[in-house]
Amino acid sequence: MLDEQEHPALADILERMRVVALPLHTRFRGQTVRELALIEGPEGWTEFSPFPEYDDVESAAWLRAALEFGWRPAPPLVRTSIPVNATLPAVPAADVERVLAHYDGCRTVKVKVAERGQTLVDDVDRIARVRELVGPEGRIRLDANGGWNLDEAEHAVHRLAEFDLEYLEQPCASVDELAELRRRIGYLGIPVAADESVRKADDPLAVARAGAADLLVVKAQPLGGLRRALAVVAEAGLPAVISSALESSVGIALGAHLAAALPELPYDCGLATVDLFETDVVAPARSLRARGGSITVERPVPDAGLLERLRPALAREQWWRDRVTRVHALL
C-alpha cells in the first residue's frame, strides 16, 4: 500500500504500461485517432490520456488521477449503473442519424456547436435534425467549448431556444462572460454549465463562487482524480454532470466510479464516448458503451490481442513513455 502522498515508482509504471491508438468513426475535437496509455495497477487497469497538445504541467493532474485509480481503492459507491448522453460532434445535419445510431437507448444528446469554420445556420440545422430524431421527450444540451463571445452567445441562445434546451455548456470562454450571459438570458430559463472553466482553471471553484454557472461539468482525469473531483463537487454545491475526456473503456470506468460515488446525479452523464470509437481496448461484450441509455460501473480488463493490434508506431510509444517520465518528475 502507498501512503496518501506517495506515488508508484516510474520504473514500475513504465513496466505496466501499454500505449494504444484508437480510430474514431467521426472526427471529434479535430481528431480521428485517439492515443492513450493504459497501466495495470494493483487495484485494476487505469488510463493516462491527456490530449497530445497538453503540456507536462497540465498533464500532471491527469497522471495523479490515473495513479490514484490504479493504486488506491475506490471510495464507497452508491449506484451500479450510470445514465449517459449521446455525444454528437459538429457534423452536418445529413450525418446526424448515422452518428446517433451508435448510441443505444440514450434519451439525451449533447450537440457540439460553435465549431470553428462553421456558422449558426450549421448549428440550427444540426440541432433541428436531432430534435426531429429524438422527439419532444428527448433532451438536448449544447456544448460550445467557449466558442462564442458574449453577444454571439446571446444571439445564438435566442435563435436556438425554440429547440427546448436542457442546458448550455461553456457558451463563452471566461467566467466573467458566463456570469454576464447568465444574467442576460436568465429570463429564458436555460441553465448554463461550466466545463473548461472547471477543468482548465487554476481554481476549479472560481466559477461556482462567481455565480457564473447553474451546474458543473466534471471530468475526473483533468481534475486530478476521484477524490479531488468529489471534493470540488461537494464544495461547489452545484449539480454535476460527470463527463469523459474521450477515454477508452478503462478511463471511462474512472468517470463511472466518480458518478457512482456522488450522492446526487440529477443529469445524464457524458460518459458514452466509447461509442465514438471504431474499436475499444476491451472485448465488445465488456466495453463501457451505452446499453439501454446507461453504462455499468465496473473495471474493464483490456484484451491482450486488442492491445497488440492497436499499438501505434514505435516512435509514438516512445513519445508516451517520455511524456510519462517527464510528468512523473513533476508529481
Q: Tell me whether residue 143 or residue 317 sits nearer to Mg ion (CB atom).
A: 143
- Residue 108 bridge partners (DSSP): 139
47 labelled binding-site residue: no
Report in angstroms how near the CB of residue 169 gets to ligand 164 at its nearest.
Answer: 7
Q: Which does 246 bind (CB under 5 to 8 A by kind): ligand 164, Mg ion, none?
A: ligand 164
d(CA 123, CA 115): 9
195 annotated to a ligand binding site: yes
| Entry field: residues in the chain | 331
Return the active site residues: 112, 219
268 binds ligand 164 (CB under 6 A): no
- If one asks whether residue 268 binds Mg ion (CB under 5 A), the answer comes out as no
Count other C-beta atoms under 10 Å from residue 299's C-beta. 19
Q: 151 among the known binding-site residues?
A: no
Residue, CB closest to ligand 164: 270
221 binds ligand 164 (CB under 6 A): no
Per-residue binding letters, 178-197, with ligand 164 (x by CB under 6 A) = -----------------x--
Tell me the residue ranges of DSSP E strands in 103-200. Answer: 108-112, 139-143, 165-169, 192-194
Q: Is 247 in the site for Mg ion (CB under 5 A)?
A: no
Please state, in angstroms and rounded to a whole number, the distance separating the CA atoms of residues 6 and 58.
20
CB of 241 to ligand 164, least distance (A): 7
Residue nearest to Mg ion (CB): 195
> CA 216, 197, 46: angle at the middle one, nearest 5?
70
Q: Among 2, 9, 15, 29, indicate the residue that binds ligand 164 (CB under 6 A).
A: 29
* Alpha helices (runs of H) in 214-288, residue ranges in sequence order: 220-223, 226-236, 249-261
Rounded-to-integer distance, Cα 146 and Cα 168, Å: 11
- b or e along 238-263 (b: 16 or more beta carbons within 10 Å of the residue's beta carbon)? bbbbbbbbbbbbbbbbbbbbbbbbbe
3-state secondary structure of 219: coil
Nearer of residues 243 and 248 to ligand 164, judged by Cβ: 243
Residue 275 makes contact with Mg ion by CB under 5 A: no
If the CB atoms of residues 197 and 248 are measured against Mg ion, the closer one turns out to be 197
Q: Please state the closest distance from residue 240 (CB atom) to ligand 164, in A.
A: 12
Using the rule CB under 5 A, is 143 a contact of Mg ion?
yes
Closest distance to Mg ion from the beta carbon of 147 (Å): 11
The amino acid occupying position 194 is A
244 binds ligand 164 (CB under 6 A): yes
> Of 53-61, 101-109, 191-199, 223-231, which segment contacts Mg ion by CB under 5 A?
191-199
CB 309 within 8 A of CB 22: no
Collapsing DSSP states into helix, strand and coil, what is residue 192? strand
**Cβ-count burial of 302 within 10 angstroms (0-12 exposed, 13-18 middle, 19+ buried)?**
buried
Cell numbers for 5: 502522498
DSSP, residue by residue, 240-252: EEEB--S--HHHH
Cell numbers standing for residue 151: 453577444
Least distance (Å) from ligand 164 to the CB of residue 145? Answer: 5
Stretch that binds ligand 164, among 12-20, 55-63, 118-126, 237-245 (CB under 6 A): 237-245
Which parts of 70-99 interact with ligand 164 (CB under 6 A)? 85, 87
At position 9, the amino acid (one-letter code) is A
Q: Quick one: DSSP state of residue 289? A: -
Nearest CB to Mg ion, comparing residues 68 and 143: 143
**In angstroms, what is the minimal distance from the CB of 143 to Mg ion?**
4
CA dist 67 and 179 (Å) reads 35
Residues binding ligand 164 (CB under 6 A) = 29, 85, 87, 110, 143, 145, 195, 243-246, 270, 273
Contact residues toward Mg ion (CB under 5 A) are: 143, 169, 195
Which positions make up the binding site? Answer: 143, 169, 195
